[in-house]
Structure 1
Amino acid sequence: MKNYQIRTYKEAIEVIEEIGMLPLAQLVPAYPSLDSITSKEQWHTGSEMDPWMWRAEFPKDGVAAYGKFIKKKSVLISRRLLPFVRVVLSSQQPLEKRYEDGLVSREALELYRLIHEEPGIDTRMLRSKAGMKDKEKKKTFDSALVELQGSMDIVVSGTKAKTNELGENNGWSSTSFETMDYWSKSNHVKEMKISVEEAKKELNEHFAKICSPESMKAWGKIFKL
């Protein structure tokens, strides 16, 4: 596999579009991650060269879906590869049906409904509307968000700055979310009406072209190829 080393947001977009999936940190052996192909000195500098800042730009610009989709780890998925990944990793059943079947937590269902009603809602507002602002409910809130990302029901849509009454930045930015359906439609990602096996075949062919045997084996386990 190519040894990528990048410096700019534009170069990062090119890598994502070429390899299809880019974890933020190492997820698969002998496979790139955003932190492995960028300079560690640039992270958390707040500059336009800061990969940590880019993570919110990718979904906002429609470059890639972003969320904790795999093993509770943050991953960027290109618009081209996303339809196949969704077929393999997400459920064909509506969230309400999965909740009735005991496959989804009540908290996840409630958060999904709020995100569906208000695309781009940030975590501060979401916790407030869900009645989960209390400190002891933070772990449950975070767990429900990870659950919804893992099932590919929601995506990170960007970040929102915390502001004071004068509209000035005041504190850390918070993550904002949209449903996967809303993000996909907004960014013209076609839904694939194909079987899981057909989607797996597409993913297998894609990774076989770019991966070493070691990383191919890891992707094979993740997608059950």
Structure 2
Amino acid sequence: MENVEVQGGVTTYKEMAEVIAKLGIVPLASLIPEHPSLNGLTKAENWHTGSELDPWRWRAQFPGEGLAGYGKFIKKKAILVSRDWFPAFVKAVGSSKELEERYNNGLASREALTLLQVIRANEGIDTRQLRSLGDMKAKEKKTAFDNAVTELQGTLDTVISGVQARQNDLGEVNGWSSTSFETVGHWMGIHGLTPYEGSREEAIAWLRSRMDATWSPAAIAWISKALSW
């Protein structure tokens, strides 16, 4: 597999799945120094083609098949985390307190609380429905909505679970696909993942031990600083 971990070296979904399984964490775009990204590993001409070789399509396929958790987990940037690493990643990066407690302590936004409550009641809800049920359809509320869904991903309360095709009243595909969201617990449960049982410190040590085998020192140093490990 070493030969695919170069610029443009990944062509198929299967090859990318192997890279994610090996490296554990792969951002969509260049983010971590001396560390591959989905954009960097794949061929530019395959993006947004809609074909089986389209990496933009893969970003939803990985969480949909339970091969990787997906969301804006680090510095508000989109990240893929392998299923094997994901439980420890949630423990090491996510908040140890429920969102309601964080909100009461001034550590979470009202919009994030509202949207999480909607997602809990409607697992797999898409962006349009979420904005509607969260009373954030108005154009002037779009920024607040975007900030809140990013906040929920950064604290590992939610993941992007896939995309849903927009349909008209006849059930025909009509317009752009829409991102869908699930709570982390729900996504893990339906894909057979159990929560990490150790402490945050133990989860960090677990992740670092695996990074040591495949990551560069610069990449490990960067993520340790970015996540305050």
TM-score band w.r.t. shorter chain: over 0.9
Match of 1:158 among 158, 162, 166: 162
Question: How far apart, CA to CA, are the structure 2 residues paired with 1:36 and 1:90?
Answer: 27
The CA deviation at 1:103 is 0.7
CA distance, structure 1, for counterparts of residue 180 and residue 201 of structure 2? 33
Query: SS of 2:73's equivalent?
Result: strand
| Secondary structure at the counterpart of residue 68 of structure 1 | strand
Deviations 1:26-82 (A, max 9, x none): 110110000111000100111110000111100110000000000000000111111
Q: Which structure 1 residue ranges, 5 or more long, are not aligned? A: none
* Correspondence for 1:213: 217
Which of residues 175, 184, 191 is equivalent to 2:195?
191
Aligned to 1:40: 44
C-alpha distance in structure 1 between counterparts of 2:183 and 2:118, whole Å: 10
The one-character-per-residue Cα deviations of 1:172-222 (angstroms, maximum 9, x if unpaired) are 001000000100111111211211211111111111111122212112213
Q: What residue is the counterpart of 1:18 in the other structure?
A: 22
33-42 vs 213-222, greater mean Cα deviation = 213-222
Q: Does 1:222 align with 2:222?
A: no
Cα distance in 1 for partners of 2:220, 2:133 equals: 43
TM (norm. structure 1) is 0.97
Say yes or no: does 1:170 pair with 2:174.
Answer: yes
Alignment of 1:2-13 (within 5 A): 2=2, 3-4=5-6, 5-13=9-17
Cα distance in 2, alignment partners of residues 166 and 83 from structure 1: 40
Q: Please name the residue that 2:63 is paired with.
A: 59
Aligned to 1:49: 53
> When the two structures are superposed, what TM-score results if normalisation uses the length of structure 2?
0.95
Q: Which whole-Å CA distance do the structure 2 matches of 1:122 and 1:224 have between them? A: 32
| SS in structure 2 of the partner of residue 200 of structure 1 | helix
1:117 paired residue number: 121
Residue in structure 2 matching 1:179, options 179, 183, 189: 183
Report the identity percentage: 49
CA RMSD in angstroms, aligned pairs only: 1.3
Q: Alignment length, in residue pairs?
A: 225
Supply the AA of the counterpart residue of 1:148.
L
Deviating above 4 A after TM superposition, structure 1's stretches of 4 or more consecutive aligned residues are none
Partner Cα separation in structure 2 for residue 179 and residue 220 of structure 1:
25
Please state how far the C-alpha of 1:83 moved relative to its aligned partner: 1.4
* Aligned position for 1:71: 75
* 1:118 maps to amino acid: N
Offset, 1:147: 0.3
| Map of 2:88 onto structure 1 | 84
